[in-house]
Amino acid sequence: MRYGIGRRIGLSCSLAILVLTLAAPTAGAENLLANGGFEQNDGKGGAAGWALYPPTLEGKGRGVSLARPGYRSAQAACVSEIETPGNMGLFGRPAAVADLESQEVLFTCYYKTQGDPGAHLSLVGYAEPFLQKEWRTPYLQSETQSLPATPNWSLICWRFRFLPGVQEIVVFFRLSKEGRLYLDEAALRPYPTEITCKVVQGGTVESLPKRRLVEVELRNHQPKEQKLQVVALTLGENRPSVQAGMTNVRLAGDKAQTVRFNYDYDFRQSHLLRLTVQAADTPTIYDQRDLQVPGLVSAELTSPAFRNSLLESLPTPKLAVSGVLNVVPALRGQVKLSAELVGVGDSSFVASDDSPAPPAFRLELPTPALLSGDHVVRVRAALPQGRQEIDLPLRRVSPGLPEVGYDENRRLWVRGKQLFPLGLYGIGDPAGVQAAAACGFNFVVVSSPRASYEVRDAAVQAGIGVVVSAANPDASFWQHLQSKWGTSTACLGWLPYSRPDLRSYSPLQLEELYALLTRLSPGQPVLEPLASPSLAQYYTQAADILLAWSLPVPHSPLRALGEMVEVLREAGGPTKPVWAIIQAQGGGAFQDEPLGPASTGRAPTPAEMEALAYLALVRGADGLVWYSYTPSEAGGGSPLSNANPVLWAAMGALNLRLRWLTPVLLEGRREAMAVAGKAVEMARWRYQGADYVLAVNSTDRGLVTPLPLGRPGASVQVLFEDREIKADQDGDVQESFPPLGTHVYMVGTAG
């Protein structure tokens, strides 16, 4: 965890915040919503282009009407609910997004409430036209945020990243309790917009004690001059929002301009800085950025990487502090940096840098051999006018219990040995554990009702680990699980909630449960599957290992999984492992959909499954977990081996290849590789003098393409295919791929 930068501001603050000093943002020329200003009447007293769900609730005080005035406009929409408990909502006509250049949109709207109607906003993505079947249409993506009750007009602003394959987005406002929700100026705009904003300096310390600098580069992608406003708000822990600055800009057509201004905030304190770029004389928002701003310095322990904890079985020869100086270049050379292990009374446990040149830094200390209990590594950044100190907690976990952790290269260590994770999600009895081990998996995920002593003993006998899953916040429940499983060598960790970012769980609730589990199980990690490209960032502090969840077959392109891996890699930081969920079943296992090979509820083919696994590795996954949690799991055994033996056999064959590649994946250094076009994705691992390259055709069409393997004239072995090819003078090879085909190359000779 990074210290000195503050925790992420909660969802309620990030979504809606009072901005009565701003000009009203409304639908501009790029608005994808019909009648987003609620100005057109549908002839029945409601808003044209918007409908009630379910429509049978209309009347008797429940429904949608137009109210006057709106937020700086003539009228607004009013959604009313007079019964408790209620369950109704308002949705707009679908917005077409298939032809947008990016996979992001910016949603903005003003709202206020009468009473507390339990209001929520959902953005729902569909792969087929919504209006044909409306709510019976299967969705690809559905994300929800709550709207806190407020009697004053407040702004909703949500940068929404939609998944590959989404063709239409529906905006849905829902009420769950008695009350009223007023809405005005709703807009869904392609992002980035025609005015783009690059943040160069965001809250950088310019002088002590409190002068901060904001510098942004605005670019106008239109030929006409635009009059703009850049507005800055600050929000600290337990502090109200404050307008820190506002500046007006005249931006010439097709030109860029740098904008600079200052605001005051103590140089030792972190805060959130919200930057809004909007039109000055028309009600259009072009961008909004929420920046987590540190004080003079932010820092974290990157070694040990797992919970700042020293494990007896995980080698940690050095304590490493990584951080960033948040000062302008003119002051950077004056900063004196140091890191000290407090309380050991030995100068050898102090590291310093008296003239750090780049803003990012790393300080290393030796790890004391006899350290025990709780300690502190103190990071100090000093200028002649003042200094900031950050205490980083350091803990030595008491030996004796089974230990599982990871190092700063995100490699998993289980009882003193490195392990590349190959897991199976959905095992319910000892026979299933034995089948998973025989198929090449080294751990399984078992739900707590099925996590019997017999399953535990079977895992010990088979030599594989078990992650126990349970959606239960009760402390006594976890204390019981810890006593039952935590002392077993089979226990690999805990999985409290699956996809909390899609299920409206509070991040604070998850963080409280995580704190409990770290106390109960100091040497066993907490896993967390996350599925929302937009909301996952708020949940990363509640787990040790993040699981990228995407089940794209058959509705979405396979690259959706790779993009979720990248989202979590960015949100989790450089040392937190990201594992990928590999789809091994279809939606028909749960929903009323056919299961046939050409149906909407089908499972992946072996080729799709293998392409998903390799694509996840290419995008940076540190482990793989196959998901096959079917209702037949209650019958015991290995449900997938019985329900889909062809796919099961393909998973076993792939596990054999991945086990052969395990030293490469653990010890090699992954590098992304550029390929002309987007059909083939590649990455290389350099290991013992050779390059190991994974290449994936993520499309459903065959192709022939040159691949830049990088060593002119080199002999290239195509692993697992018993063939060899030769690179040309540019280091390229000409290669063919079947639909969803994969190849693994070894370039050069391993030492």
The token duo for 734 is 């000409």
Whether residues 466 and 582 share a domain: the answer is: yes
Q: Is 14 helix (H, G, I), strand (E, B) or coil?
A: helix
Four-residue CA torsion sign, 65, 68, 73, 78: negative
Count the domains in the chain.
Answer: 5
Count other Cβ atoms within 10 Å, centred on residue 584: 26
Q: Is the pLDDT of residue 81 over 60?
A: yes
- Look at the block and give the residue holding tokens 């940076």: 620
Q: Is the pLDDT of residue 399 over 90?
A: no
CA-closest candidate to residue 570, choices 161, 141, 155:
161
Res 3: pLDDT: 67
Whether residues 482 and 543 share a domain: the answer is: yes
The token duo for 581 is 């969920």
Q: Is the pLDDT of residue 679 over 90?
A: no
Query: CA of 80: how far to CAs of 57, 67, 146, 153, 746, in Å?
Result: 10, 11, 17, 17, 65
Which of the four pLDDT bands, split at 50, 70 and 90, describes residue 356?
Answer: low
Q: Per DSSP, what are the bridge partners of residue 111?
A: 154, 183
More confident residue, 24 or 236: 236
More confident residue, 674 or 48: 48
Q: Is 116 helix (H, G, I), strand (E, B) or coil?
A: coil
Whether residues 569 and 641 share a domain: the answer is: yes
Res 83: pLDDT: 59
Whether residues 455 and 581 share a domain: the answer is: yes
Q: Is 59 left (phi over 0), alpha (psi -120 to 50) or beta?
A: left
- Look at the block and give the residue holding tokens 């769980």: 505
Whether residues 307 and 387 share a domain: the answer is: yes
Domain boundary pick from 661, 695, 725: 661
The token duo for 670 is 């992954």
Domain boundary pick from 377, 396, 415: 396
More confident residue, 383 or 14: 383
Whether residues 136 and 76 share a domain: the answer is: yes
Mean pLDDT lowest among 146-150, 312-316, 553-557, 654-658: 553-557
Domain boundary pick from 607, 631, 661: 661
Res 256: pLDDT: 97
CATH number at residue 147: 2.60.120.260
- pLDDT tens by residue, 369-381: 888 889 999 999 9
Res 641: pLDDT: 77
Query: Are 208 and 154 contacting, i.e. CB atoms less than 8 angstroms apart?
Result: no
- pLDDT tens by residue, 13-61: 444 333 333 333 333 457 999 999 999 998 888 899 999 887 665 555 5
> Is 546 domain-assigned?
yes
> Is 66 domain-assigned?
yes
Q: Is the pLDDT of residue 2 over 60?
A: yes
Res 71: pLDDT: 86
CA–CA dist 700, 607 (Å, integer):
10
Whether residues 459 and 573 share a domain: the answer is: yes
CATH number at residue 503: 3.20.20.60
> Is 23 domain-assigned?
no
Mean pLDDT of 1-17: 52
- pLDDT tens by residue, 463-491: 999 999 999 999 999 999 999 999 999 99
DSSP assignment, residue 522? T
Q: Is the pLDDT of residue 239 over 80?
A: no
> Is 689 domain-assigned?
yes
- pLDDT tens by residue, 418-440: 999 999 998 889 999 999 999 99
Whether residues 526 and 647 share a domain: the answer is: yes
Whether residues 474 and 522 share a domain: the answer is: yes
- pLDDT tens by residue, 138-167: 888 999 999 999 999 998 999 999 999 899
What is the SS3 assignment for 362-395?
A: EEEEECCCCCCEEEEEEEEEEECCEEEEEEEEEE
Whether residues 479 and 384 share a domain: the answer is: no
Q: Is 191 helix (H, G, I), strand (E, B) or coil?
A: strand
CA-closest candidate to residue 146, choices 127, 107, 174, 187:
174
> Is 501 domain-assigned?
yes
Res 596: pLDDT: 56
Query: Are 141 and 125 contacting, i.e. CB atoms less than 8 angstroms apart?
Result: yes
Query: CA of 615: how far to CAs of 344, 667, 703, in Å?
Result: 47, 19, 17
Res 86: pLDDT: 57
Q: Is 136 helix (H, G, I), strand (E, B) or coil?
A: helix
Res 247: pLDDT: 95
The token duo for 371 is 């350290």
Res 306: pLDDT: 98
Res 643: pLDDT: 81
- pLDDT tens by residue, 253-306: 999 999 999 999 999 999 999 999 998 987 788 999 999 999 999 999 999 999
> Is 590 domain-assigned?
yes
Q: What is the pTM of this model?
A: 0.92
CATH number at residue 324: 2.60.40.10
Mean pLDDT of 318-337: 94
Q: How many CA atoms lie within 13 A of 673 on its CB side?
A: 25
- Look at the block and give the residue holding tokens 């992304």: 672
**Domain residue limits at 317:** 297-396
CA–CA dist 416, 456 (Å, integer):
20
Query: CA of 482: how far to CAs of 307, 308, 330, 492, 520, in Å?
Result: 18, 21, 53, 12, 7
What is the SS3 assignment for 431-478?
A: HHHHHHHHCCCCEEEEEHHHCCHHHHHHHHHHCCEEEEECCCCCHHHH
Q: Is the pLDDT of residue 213 over 90?
A: yes
Whether residues 432 and 495 share a domain: the answer is: yes
CATH number at residue 715: 2.60.40.1180
Mean pLDDT of 448-468: 96
Res 539: pLDDT: 96
Q: Which of 74-83, 465-474, 592-601 has the highest mean pLDDT?
A: 465-474
Mean pLDDT taken over the chain:
89
- pLDDT tens by residue, 98-151: 999 999 999 999 999 999 999 999 999 999 999 998 888 888 899 999 999 999
Which of the four pLDDT bands, split at 50, 70 and 90, describes residue 10?
Answer: very low
Whether residues 613 and 681 share a domain: the answer is: no
Query: CA of 222: how far to CAs of 190, 216, 286, 347, 633, in Å?
Result: 15, 18, 13, 60, 57
> Is 6 domain-assigned?
no
- pLDDT tens by residue, 601-632: 789 999 999 999 999 999 999 999 999 865 44
- pLDDT tens by residue, 627-641: 986 544 444 445 677
Query: CA of 302: how far to CAs of 9, 323, 381, in Å?
Result: 23, 9, 18
Count other Cβ atoms within 10 Å, centred on residue 645: 10
> Is 151 domain-assigned?
yes
CA–CA dist 598, 453 (Å, integer):
41
Q: Per DSSP, what are the bridge partners of residue 447?
A: 469
Which of the four pLDDT bands, split at 50, 70 and 90, describes residue 567?
Answer: very high
Count other Cβ atoms within 10 Å, centred on residue 503: 12
- Look at the block and give the residue holding tokens 């789809």: 583
What is the SS3 assignment for 218-258?
A: EEECCCCCEEEEEEEEEECCCCCCEEEEEEEEEECCCCEEE
% of the chain beyond a pLDDT of 90: 72
Query: Are 326 and 335 contacting, i.e. CB atoms less than 8 angstroms apart?
Result: no
Query: Are 189 and 208 contacting, i.e. CB atoms less than 8 angstroms apart?
Result: no
Mean pLDDT of 481-507: 93
